[in-house]
Structure 1
Amino acid sequence: MVRTATLAFCISVHAPGLSYRDDARTRVGGAASSAATTAVTLRFPRASLRLSRVCVRAVRDEDSAREEVTEWKRLLRTTEEGRANTLNDLSLSLHEQERHAAPIEIARRTLTDAELSKGIAVLWFRRNLRVHDNEALTIARRCMAVLPVYIFDPAHYGTVLSEEGFQKTGPHKAHFIHSAVEALRKALRGKASELFTAIGPAESKLIPMLQALTQYELPIYLIGCRDVSEQGMTEERAVRAAIAAQPWAAQCTMEFVMDGTLFDPDQLPRDAAALTTFQSFEQATQALGLRVSEHAFAFEESDRLGPLPNPQPRLGTLPDLASELGVEGLCEPLNWPFPDSRAVYTFRGGEPSGLERMEEYIFDWDELSSYAEDNRFLGSTQTSSKLSAWFACGALSVRAYFRQILDFEKRMIPKITQPEELQLAKESLDQMKRNLVFREYLMLRHCVCGPALPLYVTEELSEEEEIKLDAWIEGETGFAYIDAMMSELKATGWIAHVSRMCVASFLFHDLGVRNTRVGIEYFASVLVDYEEAPTVFFWNRAAASPRIDWLEHALYHDPDGWYTASWCRTLCEVPVPEIFTFHHDDSAETRKVLGMSGVKVGYNFIRPIILPDGSLNPARTQSRSDDNALVH
């Protein structure tokens, strides 16, 4: 008698801004008999099976099916534990090699409510583009009057290029920040206030605003959050110097606070020895008895920010990204990044969008409870929260997200009855919380030890390195998995964090472009969620660590090849593992598979940029008509 099994798999239909899921059941393994037939439902990770590349295998024995799933989960858990242990070893080795700039003072509140109530505040929004849980805003509203300001400095956008010719801020991040500022203006109008915008260097725009308020002979407070990036600290020093040069400098006080921290900054460990590794940081915080701050800088719906002072500066319109800020690569006339149908998620800037995404991810889709299992798969809206973009510009509070995780843990965990699901949910919550604490570690390390300087920086790239770098940026290395990740990055401004480590290692170790500065500058330009501290850390780690085996990475993170095929469409019919290995495998079997899939290297898929020995492929440097027919 043939025993059948019912496989439940998840169909995902992807379109920009749309993700639809449905459970489909397929009967396999022969005709079902009556009571003697046993059916077992296997629910694989939601990101691992897609409609375009579903492969349903007949499972004829219930016990073997359960064993297969159990072994798969064991291997997954072992791999994640191994990576966590390796992380500490690599961090220690990296700490010994890195050089750091001067430490950055951790800003904290110094003014009392009594002092604030007698003065006028200029609230300078920087990387805190939100109303909820905003300490700078909470401080400013204690003043007699508040003037909210945001300044677009063209030097931070496309008009000033990096050393390698990249835009300082590419189209995806520029549009995201522009949308976040627009949403903040709407939110402040709902609080009986306004957001005044200006275009130019911060010191040249803030000084006239502050000077106009000196006529009242009241204390003036310039209040904002500290931007600990190199660009942000340079800007802050310029503003301080400009104020100090004014005759009314004694009337003005600058009050900056840290934004986006989980712990109370006053309680964080300041000993550099405690920051050599993430493990040492965790031990130090546990020894100090630190808990994530439960204090929220609340701003209720009925609250008002306070009256606007007179005279008021020109309100200012939001700048045109292309003509006024010099951002290139936008879709005219809307000044949006070019849409791509392969994108699994469309980032929309602004506090409301961030809050909506957080609620959607945690509660509406219940994806947080399976994060530990799903986050290894690439190419799905649900496999990660993607909230890092809102964290980067301060449109969403990290503390607020952490509190939502705790709320989910309190409300939902008791409702889970299945032991395996309960274990997975606990592992997922612990892993997500640990990721947020790791982000805190990088921020504190950046301040206490000083910003880390890029490792292995050369004066200029050779001609061969320039060719390899261009191929890497354009997603035209000829290695399908790498090209898929780089194509997604260029088209959407985002790739998974595990992908960032892989492509960084590939550029440095495989392609031999041993200069981390160019990679950091490119990520700074294109990433919608770019932050200096984690980006420099991971690029230095990729350079200082052994080479990442991108083939193992592909088989682990894209086991069915769907992600690679979706970004390299010519390969949509090529099976696993040939979709990853055909570059250097010239066997008859591989040629047969490629021929059946309609793929011809050099005709409709580009040749590899390097040969097996790592040298530049001479065929790529020659002008060949068949290499111009690239299809991704």
Structure 2
Amino acid sequence: MSTGLIWFRNDLRTQDHEGIAKATDNHDRVIAVYCFDPRHYEELEIGFRKTGKFRTKFLIETIHQLRNNLQKMHIPLFVFQNKPEVKIAELVKEHQIDTIYFQKEWTDEEKEVERNLKESIPDVELIDHYQQFLFHPDDIPYDSFDELPKVFTEFRKKCEKKTEVRELLSNSKIEEFEFVNDTKIPSLKDLDFNEFTTDERSAFPFHGGEDEALKRVEQYFFKQRNLETYKETRNGLIGTDYSSKLSAWLANGSISPRQIYFKVKQYEKEIKSNQSTYWLIFELIWRDFFKYISLKHGNKIFQLEGIRGKSHDWNDDNETFRKWINGETKEDFVNANMLEIAHTGFMSNRGRQNVNSYLAKELKHDWRKGAACFESLLIDYDVHSNWGNWMYNSGVGNDPRDRKFNIKSQADRYDPDNDYQDLWLK
């Protein structure tokens, strides 16, 4: 009897999942594993933990839902608070696993885990796959990642013209089997965080998990029909519905970009198609673009000079950085946004652009410390989008114009009555 193992990473769903589709097709029995890797909770140089309390809570909720949904498919999910390369090697020996399926990652930390795993179980077949893209890497109109353009618009237009979005994957059924699984999903306390309640001002009061992601799509698209006005409202600052808020579920893979794409297409066919419905797909293509930039440039996305290799006179004054983090700068609009992320783990796209530009362009501070701060605090942290956007707004990435935001005019335009600043500063 053949047993396959699905190693979950940032692909925490049961639908449109290549690992599940292949494993249930190829094996009589399938088990799954997720590891709360202690390296993800270590302290960064800036004094923050790599994964903060907001994303951790969202992740715990996600894993509970994943376990329940897998159980319905007769796939037990083993959960460990340990390094994946350690616990997976143990599972392989214990359950005579012959094949492991997992999502392909390419940044250094993830690749190191894969190397360690391969060394510990050399005789097991490892099958990896890309499933975090809208446009699959095998389908884009470039022969190699080196050919990818520097500018988003060129990438978008070429892919829209020449690349089809692949259909959603489906799973085969497997028979129920006896299995002892007494592994426990850790609590916030187990991961050295205190319990906390969601701030009532939060623009992201949602829970983690695949079911919650699908519920949000249903609500935002079909029940409230907010999708129709997305392009007009997406620069909002207050409340749950100025934007789709799908980023956190996308970041940990509770929903795939293809699932969202086909829901938009359903909406356009059944209800309405306009600039707003297209704009949500446009944003999914932006997300793809930053992943491809990361694939092309590797570790350059983490370097001070960025992918442009551009030198600046950076300031590294700790007091300046502390004031930015704590919302104690000369700009109330920046301060309000920094207080929002500190209290909720979320910040609007407009806010992110402004606080990034202010740190890098006005204070001329090492932008990577800002990116690391976001890595810790954000519920919706995605390595490629986060570092790609920070480079872009700091003048060392994919923005050919190298713009600097005028914070006061931005505040006047997007918060003309000071409602947002009053919400966080009073």
Q: Same fold (TM over 0.5)?
A: yes
SS at match of 1:127: coil
Q: Is the contact made by 2:213 and 2:246 (CA closer than 8 Å) also made in structure 1?
A: yes
AA at the equivalent of 2:206: F
Give the alignment partner of residue 158 of structure 2, picking from 277, 280, 284: 284
Match of 2:29 in 1: 145
Match of 1:298 in 2: 170
Q: Is the contact made by 1:340 and 1:492 (CA closer than 8 Å) also made in structure 2?
A: yes
Q: Is the contact made by 1:378 and 1:563 (CA closer than 8 Å) also made in structure 2?
A: yes
Q: Which has the larger radius of gyration?
A: 1
Match of 1:603 in 2: none
Structure 2 residue 3 is the aligned partner of structure 1 residue 120: yes
Q: Is the contact made by 2:10 and 2:252 (CA closer than 8 Å) also made in structure 1?
A: yes
**Higher RCO, 1 or 2 (CA under 8 Å, sep at least 6)?**
2
Q: How does 1:42-191 map to 2 (within 5 A)?
A: 119-142=2-25, 143-157=27-41, 160-191=42-73
Structure 2 residue 183 is the aligned partner of structure 1 residue 316: yes
Match of 2:138 in 1: 266
Farther-moved stretch of structure 1 (259-268 vs 125-134): 259-268
- 1:483 Cα deviation after fit: 1.0
Q: Is the contact made by 1:153 and 1:202 (CA closer than 8 Å) also made in structure 2?
A: yes
AA at the equivalent of 1:297: L
- 1:358 Cα deviation after fit: 0.9
Q: How does 1:350-499 map to 2 (within 5 A)?
A: 350-413=209-272, 426-451=274-299, 452-456=301-305, 465-499=317-351
Give the alignment partner of residue 110 of structure 2, picking from 207, 214, 232: 232
- 1:305 Cα deviation after fit: 4.2
Match of 2:191 in 1: 325
- 1:283 Cα deviation after fit: 3.9
Q: Is the contact made by 2:235 and 2:349 (CA closer than 8 Å) also made in structure 1?
A: no
AA at the equivalent of 2:382: E
TM-score (norm 1): 0.62
Q: How many Å separate the matches in 2 of 1:528 and 1:341?
A: 16
- 1:355 Cα deviation after fit: 0.7
* Deviation sequence 1:431-456 (CA, Å, 0-9, x none): 21111111112112211332423325
Q: How many Å separate the matches in 2 of 1:275 and 1:548?
A: 25
SS at match of 2:191: coil
SS at match of 1:450: helix
Q: 1:131 to 1:305 in 2, by over 3 A?
A: farther
Q: 1:307 to 1:265 in 2, by over 3 A?
A: farther
Q: Is the contact made by 1:120 and 1:220 (CA closer than 8 Å) also made in structure 2?
A: yes
Q: How many Å separate the matches in 1 of 2:317 and 2:381?
A: 24
SS at match of 1:265: coil
* Deviation sequence 1:421-477 (CA, Å, 0-9, x none): xxxx6111222111111111211221133242332599xx98x82112111112222
Q: 1:510 to 1:449 in 2, by over 3 A?
A: closer
- 1:492 Cα deviation after fit: 0.9
Q: Is the contact made by 1:225 and 1:258 (CA closer than 8 Å) also made in structure 2?
A: yes
Question: How many residue pairs were aligned?
Answer: 410
SS at match of 1:275: coil
Match of 1:87 in 2: none
Q: How many Å separate the matches in 2 of 1:540 and 1:191?
A: 42
- 1:169 Cα deviation after fit: 0.3
Q: Is the contact made by 1:319 and 1:325 (CA closer than 8 Å) also made in structure 2?
A: yes
SS at match of 1:128: coil
Give the alignment partner of residue 551 of structure 1, picking from 408, 413, 421: 408
SS at match of 1:449: helix
AA at the equivalent of 2:292: L
- 1:542 Cα deviation after fit: 1.7
SS at match of 1:255: strand
Structure 2 residue 370 is the aligned partner of structure 1 residue 519: yes
Q: How many Å separate the matches in 2 of 1:406 and 1:477?
A: 44
AA at the equivalent of 1:345: F
AA at the equivalent of 1:278: F
Q: 1:208 to 1:342 in 2, by over 3 A?
A: same
Q: How many Å separate the matches in 1 of 2:101 and 2:45?
A: 33
Match of 2:398 in 1: none
Q: How many Å separate the matches in 1 of 2:347 and 2:282?
A: 20
Q: Is the contact made by 2:139 and 2:164 (CA closer than 8 Å) also made in structure 1?
A: no
What are the ranges of 5 or more consecutive residues in structure 2 without an aligned counterpart? 396-401
- 1:359 Cα deviation after fit: 0.7
AA at the equivalent of 1:298: S
Q: 1:229 to 1:528 in 2, by over 3 A?
A: farther
AA at the equivalent of 1:533: H
AA at the equivalent of 1:507: L
Q: How many Å separate the matches in 1 of 2:177 and 2:120?
A: 24
Q: Which has a greater percent of helix?
A: 2
Q: How many Å separate the matches in 2 of 1:478 and 1:276?
A: 34
Q: How many Å separate the matches in 2 of 1:338 and 1:517?
A: 30
AA at the equivalent of 2:417: D
- 1:165 Cα deviation after fit: 1.6
Q: How many Å separate the matches in 1 of 2:23 and 2:281?
A: 31
Match of 1:501 in 2: 353
C-alpha root-mean-square deviation of aligned residues, in Å? 2.2
What are the ranges of 5 or more consecutive residues in structure 1 without an aligned counterpart? 1-117, 332-336, 414-424, 570-632
AA at the equivalent of 2:200: S
TM-score (norm 2): 0.90
Farther-moved stretch of structure 1 (273-282 vs 182-191): 273-282
- 1:478 Cα deviation after fit: 4.3
